[in-house]
Amino acid sequence: MLPLKDKVALITGSSRGIGNAIARKCALAGADVVINYRKAGGSSQEQAEQLCKEIEGMGRSALMVQADIAAKDSVKKLFSETAGRFGRLDFLILNAAKAPFKPVEKLFERELRQLVETNYLGNIFCIQESVPLLAKSGGRIVFISSLGSRFYNPAYPLGSMKAAMESVVRDCAESLRHKKILVNAVCGGIVRTDSFKILRQYWENIDMLPDELFVEPDEIADATVFLCAPESRGITGQTLVVDRGLSNSLFRAVSNP
């Protein structure tokens, strides 16, 4: 009934959007949860505080940690606070992402650095810091990817980082196998979150996409919980696509039934 009972899940970037849904679903599945966000003192922090209260209301423990995954010291603090509070970590969910929406050839140097530092280096810093804890529990790592890892979108340079991370997932699945850590990804379709509100301004004809092809945050969260649960013990190095069939129907006219 509670597949993640007595376990601890850390979800990067979980104050809002998909990360928030994953944190809530992990708690509903029985886990204690570490909620991470980047911006102190704003609405992101308020949403993280609200989520903490909700999770505690479910009878689980929640720890809120402000940390920027792009900064190694900040990542060290995230994991040392987790270990200090819970003494263990079972699931690392790499959800945080931030990137400008413009073609890759138009990125300023500072945008390029932010793209790589948050979405590639930041995730790897988290993996590195988590390994000693996950090795003790035979834990799991789940990376949240997107269809940009495999399909062109003119205003989505984040796609190249997602592709790189799906490759890191395959690498780590092998290199961490002897530590009994399973590493997988969930590749989400299009989800109406804060970041999508910005992306849609640059995406011609996105409004023609039928409603039923938009994915709910909870659908990504359910797949993530599955990849943490005992039932997925035979899966590692894989990317599970959760897009309501969008990528399977890319060449069909939008108006077709």
Near ligand NAP by CB under 6 A: residue from 6, 73, 171, 194: 194
Active site residue 162: yes
For the chain, counts of helices (H) and of strands (E): 8, 9
Note whether 171 and 127 are within 8 A (CB): no
Cα four-point dihedral sign 194, 28, 87, 120: negative
Per CB under 6 A, 51 contacts ligand NAP: no
DSSP code, position 117: I
Exactly one of 7, 9, 10, 16 binds ligand NAP (CB under 6 A); which one? Answer: 16
Decide if residue 193 touches ligand NAP (CB under 6 A).
yes
Is 92 a residue that touches ligand NAP (CB under 6 A)?
no
Residue 236 binds to ligand NAP (criterion: CB under 6 A): no
Active site residue 98: no
Q: Does 34 bind ligand NAP (CB under 6 A)?
A: no
List 68, 81, 90, 219, residue binding ligand NAP (CB under 6 A):
68
The answer to the question of residue 191 lying near ligand NAP (CB under 6 A) is yes
Q: Return d(Cα 106, Cα 43) in angstroms, integer.
A: 30
Catalytic, out of 156, 179, 180, 197: 156
| Burial call 157-184: b when 16+ CB within 10 Å, e when fewer | bbbbbbebbbebbbebbeebeeeebbbb
Establish if 122 lies at the interface with ligand NAP (CB under 6 A): yes
CA–CA dist 89, 82 (Å, integer): 8
Give the dihedral sign, CA 44/91/81/53.
Answer: positive
Instruction: Say how many CA atoms lie within 13 Å of 139 toward its Cβ.
Output: 23
- Please report whether residue 36 would count as binding ligand NAP according to CB under 6 A: yes
Pick 124 or 135: Cβ nearer ligand NAP = 124
Chain residues that interact with ligand NAP, rule: CB under 6 A: 12-13, 15-19, 36-39, 44, 68-70, 95-98, 118, 122, 144, 146, 188, 190-191, 193-196
Q: Indicate which residues carry an active-site annotation.
A: 156, 162
